[in-house]
Every structure is written in C-alpha cells, then in structure tokens.
Amino acid sequence: MYRADRLAGSAVLVTGGSGFIGEHLCCRLKASGAIVHVVSRRLCPSHREHFRWWNADLRDVSAVQQVFRAVQPRIVFHLASHVAGARSLEMVLPTFYDNLASTVHVLTAAAAVRSERTVLASSSEEPLASNETPCSPYAAAKWASSVYGRMFNQLFQTSVVMARIFMTYGPKQKDMQKLVPFVISNLLRGEAPPLSSGRRRADWVYVDDVVEGLLRAAVTPGIEGCAFDLGRGSLVSVREIVEQIANIAGGSAKPAFNKLPDRPFEQERAADTSFLLNRLGYQPQTELKQGLENTVSWYRKQFEATTDSSTRDAARERKVR
C-alpha cells in the first residue's frame, strides 16, 4: 500500500469524484489526510461534509481555470468522462467535448498553477500503436487525451501520468447498465438478465486495486510522461464472470445468453503489468472470486434495505387506509 502520509495536508483535486472510481478514490484520499476538492456538474449528497465540492462544467475553460486558481492543487486526478462505448455517430460530439476538450482544459489549468502531478484516467481501449484505429468515439477521445498529456509533459514540463484503466468492477457502481451491477440487480430481483453471447474476454480489476494504482501514480517520482496499464494481466470471458455472479447470488433466475447481439469491434487485451510492478511496486491483490463476492454482498445489502423500506411504507399506507 502506498504511504498514506505522502499526501497528508495536500490539496488534491479530483474531477469526476461523484463517479464510481472517483468516490472510492476520494474516500481513500480523505483517510490519508489529504484536503480533497471534488469537481462535479452536480453536488453529490453523500460525503458532502468530508470534501470541498465545486460545481463546474469542465467543457467551460474559464470555469476550470477559476477552480484551479482557487484550489491551487498539488495533485490532480482527472477521472471525469463521458463513459459510453457505443459505436455510433451520436457519441462523437459528447465524447469529444466531455473527454478530450475537458482534458485539454484540465491540463492547461494544471500547467498554469504548476500542479506537482496530474494523473489522467485513460482507457484500455486506446490503441497502442500509431497505425491502429480506435474502436469507438470514446476510445478515440481517450487516445487523443493521452497524446495531449504527453505533449504537455514534453513541451511545458507538466508532470502528467496516464493510467490505462481496464474493466473495473466493485461496490457502489451507479451505472446499472454496466455488466456487473446489471447482472447482480436482475438476479437479486429473481429476473434473468438478457445478455449477448458472453464470448468476449476482458481484464477485470477490482476498484480498490485501481485506486491503489492511481494513488501510487500520483506520488511515485520519475514517471512523468509515462502511460501504463492498470489491470490484473489476465483475460476472463463475460460468460465466466456472469456465471460466477450467478453462483454467488444464488436464486432460481439464470442468465439469458444470446438474447442480445455482440457489440462489433470489441477489444481483447490483457494489461501489461510490468510497469505497475517494476515502477510502482504494486500488483492488484483482489482475486476475482473475492472481488465478486464483495460486490454481490454490497448490492444485496442495498437491495434488502430498499425492499425492507418499501415493505414498511406499504404497511404504513395500509394502516392509514
């Protein structure tokens, strides 16, 4: 684990702090004694008393500059993103403005206030070679963002590190259309989740391991301008993940494979963990089975709490009548 005192008392700015990975990261930063500033388009009701929230649209360069001048962050984690892997024309402009333009605005502001380190959340879908074609508008925007990160490091001596984050799962994922929470929520309701063939393989990494990698990327010297993979280094099919979730969740409902078409141009690549191990001194610790058990357990508690609340509300309504 990275030394918690490395960021104690430091101003740390997190964009996208109300998101899945961002919320976990902010809680770890707070526990380490950092002064955590969170940029979000909307205020998040949870943990508001622990963090300094800034309402700003990262597509607005003046708003970004205003936040950076006020915070003067030592460390910046840029996680805010329009996360959609759809291969459609409608995704081009949202991913351009939300992912690429916002990144350039953040890098420009970080350079102006001379932040010590900016960590960009890059994507495992980014091409690794210059002659490869991005598989989606999202991948193209993330790829271009990494190019800007390297340019800022070389041209303006802005300390930038790019973490190519692989398929992250775990508790508190709010987008219920993502595979793991989608499958869990359906099974807990006793419904069969409709799925594609499940043949696609991905590198699945638990959210706590992603946060650990990001924290180390923020404080490790001598890695300026580097991009690295943040994953476990092994491929597991969607079908295997879903079947493990079903075994853990129990119940009579079974996943319904081949009900949806496979998405075209899906990428299959395991993370190269050599940089993570050799330069950051870290390897993801959470085994897949344990991570899925933790995740199912968290969603089960939420489901049971919601069910109990609904039952109590219905009972009160019957009494009133």
What is the Cα–Cα distance from 318 to 312, expressed in whole angstroms?
10
Per-residue pLDDT of the chain (321 residues; tens, 9 = 90+): 556 578 999 999 999 998 999 999 999 999 999 999 999 877 665 555 679 999 999 999 999 999 999 999 999 999 998 777 667 888 889 889 999 999 999 999 999 999 999 999 998 888 887 778 877 888 899 999 999 999 999 999 999 999 999 999 999 998 999 999 999 999 999 999 999 999 999 999 999 999 999 999 999 999 999 999 999 999 999 999 999 999 999 999 999 999 999 887 778 899 999 999 999 999 999 999 999 999 999 999 999 988 755 545 544 554 545
Does any domain span residue 221? no
Does any domain span residue 228? no
Cα atoms in the Cβ-side hemisphere of radius 13 Å centred on 216: 21
Q: Are 224 and 159 in contact (CB under 8 A)?
A: yes
* Beta bridge mates, 52: 37
Is the dihedral angle over the CA atoms 288, 290, 292, 295 positive or is it negative?
Answer: negative
Does any domain span residue 3? yes
Instruction: Say what the pLDDT of residue 126 is.
Output: 83
**Structural tokens at position 88:** 């459609």
Does any domain span residue 29? yes
Question: What ranges make up the beta strands (E) of 9-115?
Answer: 11-15, 35-40, 52-55, 75-78
Q: How many domains does the chain have?
A: 1
Q: Are 183 and 247 in contact (CB under 8 A)?
A: no
Instruction: Say what the pLDDT of residue 135 is.
Output: 79
Name the residue range of residue 93's domain: 1-165
* Range 17-46 burial, b when 16+ CB lie within 10 A, else e: bbbbbbbbbbbbbeebebbbbbbbeeebee
Torsion angle, alpha carbons of 280, 25, 87, 194, to 10 = 110
Residue written as tokens 């708003």? Answer: 63
Does any domain span residue 53? yes
**Structural tokens at position 280:** 């950051």
Does any domain span residue 293? no
CATH code where residue 86 lies: 3.40.50.720
Does any domain span residue 267? no
Q: Are 75 and 10 in contact (CB under 8 A)?
A: yes
Does any domain span residue 135? yes
Q: At what angle do helices 288-320 and 238-249 cross, to 10 degrees?
A: 50
